[in-house]
Amino acid sequence: MSRQRRPIARYAPLPDAEVHSEGFRQTREARRSALVEDYVELIADLIEDGNEARQVDIAARLGVAQPTVAKMLSRLAADGLVSRKPYRGVFLTEAGRAVAHESRARHQTVEAFLLSIGVSAETARIDAEGIEHHVSAETLDAFRRVMSGSRSGD
């Protein structure tokens, strides 16, 4: 015998179309930038760990094929975020370092917040990897306030 599920009640009326579409637009934009941010953040980590980020290392850490990395590195170079040197690794430009820094800061804030509410370290690390790309500056500020014990925007 199949049980019918009761619909989940909406907690607020449906917003008008323009307001509603803004959330979806922001989500699509976050998806587009997430891959770029993941690459530059990983490149920064590899450089800090061993002074060089090689295509083979990037592929291994992201769990993708080297041709996939090569294609993305071409895109990042065209966007002015990385430079490549023959027979050497990949290096971040000033713009790339700025993107990596901002992405890392968001990741650290989200991960720290998740840890502060009792999420395990492994789950917090994994979940932060996705959330960091979608969280707004307002929400990050709220996370920081909650972690510091302050509820207002002081």
Structurally, the chain folds into a number of domains equal to: 1
The whole-angstrom separation of Cα 8 and Cα 140 is 28
Asked whether residue 19 is assigned to any structural domain, the reply reads no
Q: Contact at 8 Å (CB) between 114 and 139?
A: no
Asked whether residue 11 is assigned to any structural domain, the reply reads no
Which residue ranges in the chain fall short of pLDDT 50? 154
pLDDT digits (tens, 9 = 90+) for 25-62: 666 666 677 889 999 999 999 999 987 899 999 999 99
Q: What is the CATH number of the domain that holds 116?
A: 1.10.10.10
